[in-house]
Every structure is written in structure tokens, then in C-alpha cells.
Amino acid sequence: MRITRRDRRDVRLFLWFSLAAAVISAYFGYAVAPASEPPRAPLQSAFHGALTSLMIATPIILFELGSRRPGLLRRLRRLPLVAYFSLKVLFYSVVIIAGLLVMRPSIDAVFRTSLVFSIAMAIFANVIIEIGGLLGYGTLKGLLTGRYVQPRREQRAFLLIDMKDSTRLAERLGPIRFHELLNDFFRDVSDAAFETQAEIHKYVGDEAILTWTAGKALADGDFLACPFIVRDLIAGNGDRYRRRFGVVPAFRASLHCGEIVAGEIGDARREIAYVGDTLNVAARLLEAAKARGRDILVSADLLEAVALPADLVAEPLPTLAIRGRNAPLEIFALARVGQK
């Protein structure tokens, strides 16, 4: 069975959360060890705390990560918020109380203190996972470390992916089912992003914006395969799309690179924004893809900066006039060798 980058990402998250929980719980166990116990008791309590955390944290972390993957747990997230929240509280309560009772059968002051601590840890971990899923862990890391407190210039490559015929599909499916179609479509885009180590910048309607730092992206041209990986994933899930929605989605895409300014923006809600002509050009390329009947367009600027993978071919097209640029933009249609 092939292990995807998403699988490896989830394994890393599981290990980091488990390690953090064990270290914090070991310190908690050391700190709450009764002073009346023998001198070795604090160390035993630290080990006891770490072991307890693993018994409690393991099923909770697996539940949270599993609820973001296809299957029963993910379907539970579609329940009304109150019902889903109630199920989570019940599950958390059973896991926490059972774990504590296994490690400390007597309900004493230490047990009650450990119960409060375990609940607080579960809530904190849940908040981190939810925010990471909402913003992306890369964005969350940037916000927490203050990397983009001051705007900074960066060289980045961008991929814009836009679903074809989305208006017609929305009219046929209705808003609820079209939202479900978009969600499945973006999941395939996300899997391709994991495979090519892309950062998902944001979703805008039926469009996804992916980005790579120039150093990582330009080291080789493998990231150029990202839209083709999306296409392969959609084709592999074709039966599921047809069964649920009666259609297999298709898309257009554009690739471009250049300098942008990255920085935190917003007040009531903050995010990391990319500002500059590079994204505007990528958007114009996406419009040109529709006008010229091509699925994937790439700028000459980007092709000059990377090595084209052997299984891809770039077909030159008539230049594209871009407002604000002195010279027209050279563009190419990107395809797999032997395909159009």
C-alpha cells in the first residue's frame, strides 16, 4: 500500500502531539506528587503522568485526525454542530475518565486534579488542531512565530486551479450538493498539494490557490506536475464522483512565479496575505486558459527558472498582453508527453 505525503503529515502530527502531551504530563505528574511520599515518588509520578497521557492522548488525537479523512468519522462532522459537539464531549469524557481510572483506581485529590488537567489539555489540543485545519499549519506557524509581522519580499511560485462549468453545476446540483462537490474536489487538490509540498494559500469560491517558496519550488521542476496529479486523483475517484454527483469535475490551471510581498493583514481576523503583480498575472493566465481552450497554462518566466520534467511538454502560444507590463507575456500550454 502506497503511503502518501498526507499520511506522513498525519503521522508527524500524531507523534508531535503525543510527545508534547507526554512531556507536559510528565512534568505535571512530577509537580503534583504528594510531598509525603518517598523521594523517588516524583520521578515515578512523572513516568506515571507520561504513560497516562499516552493512554488518553492517543485515541483523542487519532479521532481528531481521522475526522478529517474519508470515512465514518468524517461523516460525523456533517452532523448538526450541537450533536457533533455532544458526541465529542462524550467520547473525550469516556477516554479521559477510563484512562485515569486504569492508571489510578482511587478517586482522590490527585485523581481530581489530574481530571481537570486532562480536560484542559484535551481542549487545548483540540483548539490547535481546529485552528491548524482552518488556517493551515504553515500559516498558523507563521502567525505564532511572528514571521510576517513586518511585510517582507519573497520569491514564490503560484498555481491557480479553477473548476470548469461551476455555475452550471451549481444550478443543476443545488447549493448544498454543489458545496459537497467542491469539498471533494478541494480534497483531491489538497492531496496533490501534499504530494508536491505546496502550501494551500486559500480557497476563493471554486478556485484554489497553491504556492511554493522559490527556493523549494525552483530546486527542481517536480512541482509543475501538481495539476496533473490533481487530474489523476480526480480520475481515480471518478466512480465516486459519478455516483454522488453524476459528474466528474474538470478544471483549468495556471502557473507563474515572481516577487510578492507577504505579511499579516486584518484586525478582527488575521491572515497572511500575498500582495503583488505575480498573483495578478497568474489570474490573467487562468482567464487566458479559458479563452484559448487550454487546461493548463504556464508563463515563460517560470519555465526559464526551472527544468521541465521529462514527462511534460510545453507548447508555445501567442503572447498575452498584461495591463501594466511593458512587454507581452510569453505563455505555454503544459501537457504530458503524448497528451493534449
Least confident segment among 83-87, 196-200, 208-212: 83-87
Write out the DSSP string of 189-222: HHHHHHHTT-EEEEEETTEEEEEEEHHHHTTSSG
pLDDT bucket at 229, cuts 50 / 70 / 90? very high
- Residue 264's pLDDT is what? 78
Q: Is the pLDDT of residue 320 over 90?
A: no
Whole-number percent of the chain with pLDDT over 90: 22
Tens digits of per-residue pLDDT, 18-47?
A: 888 888 888 777 776 665 555 556 677 777
Q: Which of 48-57, 63-72, 247-256 has the highest mean pLDDT?
A: 247-256
The residue with greater pLDDT, 273 or 331, is 331
The residue with greater pLDDT, 255 or 307, is 255
- Residue 254's pLDDT is what? 94
C-alpha cell, 249: 469535475
Tens digits of per-residue pLDDT, 121-176?
A: 777 777 777 677 666 666 677 767 777 778 888 888 999 999 999 999 999 999 98
What pTM was computed for the model?
Answer: 0.70
> Nearest-CA neighbor of 155 among 284, 307, 261?
261
Residues 63-76 as b or e (16 or more Cβ within 10 Å = b): bbbebbeeeeeeeb
> Whose grid coordinates read 491548524?
132
Per DSSP, 247 falls in state: S
Q: Is the pLDDT of residue 238 over 90?
A: yes
Beta bridge partners of 202: 209
- Residue 216's pLDDT is what? 61
Q: For the chain, what are the domain ranges? A: 5-135, 149-336
Q: Is the pLDDT of residue 75 over 90?
A: no
Burial class (CB in 10 A: 0-12, 13-18, 19+), 198: buried
- Residue 30's pLDDT is what? 73
For domain 149-336, give its CATH number from 3.30.70.1230, 3.40.47.10, 3.40.50.2300, 3.40.50.970. Answer: 3.30.70.1230
